[in-house]
């Protein structure tokens, strides 16, 4: 009888294994590591490679969201006149100067705040500002256009380590330079083409209010990190105002990218019917923003 039962149960095992493998990508999407990766050893922005953006989600099981996810970033953001969502959302920024370190992560240049750089309150959730970094060209498209540069200010929830918010500021090359990049230029030059992970302590406190001062209106949507593991559920606030940056500053950031790709922008992702709302900074730009 025991032998008969074992034979009857035997065909079940391949079926179970097949179902497990079928569900593995979806499980990986749900349980992907929340943190953005700090290493570019396994992924690239160059098309036509085994580790190009369209293949990120196939490289590792915990990066599966990059391929299977339905709420990925960046996306095309329509003009304010075409926003169909609520128009009365608010966000509050209380940034302050903080000691910081400049880090060459290979795929971007990051300012890591080593002290309390302030916070963002969005939809009733408080997020602490942790770091900021740049992408060139811009990752999001506003009114159908991708611009020369995009700043991401990454915030982490005070109460839940897996909740994140990103404030994005787009730039176009123009007559005026960006003041915070101007202050950072000597440090960026020092880490250009240094090994991945090289750090330079910044000699003075960095004021995160500078690059977004005067940006009071934002497109709010729910998306993902734009680098592996492409974790979803990220609260995005993309400034409607496009600011100026000098050509030299854009070139400086591009030259500093370790793999010489000179661009570190993920291709646009499908919105898949996601709602986009207009949010307003409160209070309006001032000493606390």
**Known catalytic residues?**
107
All residues at 6 or more sequence positions from 174 whose CB lies less than 8 Å from its CB, including other chains: 244, 245, 246
Number of Cβ within 10 Å of residue 97's Cβ equals 17
187: left (phi over 0), alpha (psi -120 to 50) or beta: alpha
Q: Which two tokens stand for residue 281?
A: 């900074």
Q: Is the bond into 25 cis (omega within 30 degrees of 0)?
A: no
With vertex at residue 99, the alpha carbon angle to CA 136 and CA 150, rounded to the nearest 5 degrees, is 15
- Cα within 13 Å of Cα(80), Cβ side: 11
Consecutive H or E run containing 237 = strand 232-239
Question: Which residues are bridge partners to 94 per DSSP?
Answer: 119
Q: Exposed (0-12), middle (13-18) or buried (19+): which is 208, by Cβ within 10 Å? A: buried
Closest CA to 70 of 26, 118, 119: 26
271: Cα separation from own chain's centroid: 16
- E strand map for 47-206: 76-77, 89-95, 100-104, 109-113, 118-122, 125-135, 141-142, 145-146, 149-157, 164-173, 199-201
């Amino acid at each position: 009888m025991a032998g008969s039962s074992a034979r009857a149960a035997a065909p079940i095992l391949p079926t179970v294994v097949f179902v497990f493998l079928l569900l593995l990508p979806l499980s990986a999407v749900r349980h992907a590591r929340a943190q953005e990766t700090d290493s570019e050893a396994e992924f690239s922005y160059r098309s036509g490679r085994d580790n190009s953006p369209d293949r990120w989600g196939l490289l590792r099981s915990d990066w599966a969201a990059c391929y299977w996810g339905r709420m990925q970033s960046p996306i095309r953001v329509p003009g304010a006149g075409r926003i169909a969502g609520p128009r009365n959302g608010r966000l509050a920024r209380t940034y302050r100067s903080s000691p910081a370190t400049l880090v060459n992560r290979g795929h971007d240049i990051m300012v890591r705040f080593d002290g309390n750089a302030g916070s963002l309150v969005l939809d009733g959730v408080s997020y602490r500002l942790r770091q900021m970094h740049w992408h060139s060209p811009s990752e999001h498209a506003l009114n159908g256009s991708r611009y020369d540069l995009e700043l991401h200010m990454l915030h982490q929830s005070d109460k839940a380590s897996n909740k994140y918010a990103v404030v994005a500021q787009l730039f176009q090359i123009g007559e005026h330079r960006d003041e915070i990049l101007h202050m950072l230029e000597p440090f960026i030059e020092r880490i250009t083409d240094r090994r991945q992970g090289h750090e330079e302590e910044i000699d003075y406190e960095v004021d995160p209010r500078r690059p977004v001062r005067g940006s009071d209106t934002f497109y709010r949507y729910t998306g993902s990190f734009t680098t592996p593991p492409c974790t979803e559920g990220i609260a995005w606030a993309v400034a409607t105002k496009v600011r100026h940056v000098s050509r030299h500053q854009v070139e400086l950031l591009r030259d500093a990218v370790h793999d010489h790709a000179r661009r570190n922008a993920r291709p646009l992702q499908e919105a898949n019917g996601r709602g986009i709302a207009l949010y307003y900074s409160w209070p309006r730009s001032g000493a606390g923003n």
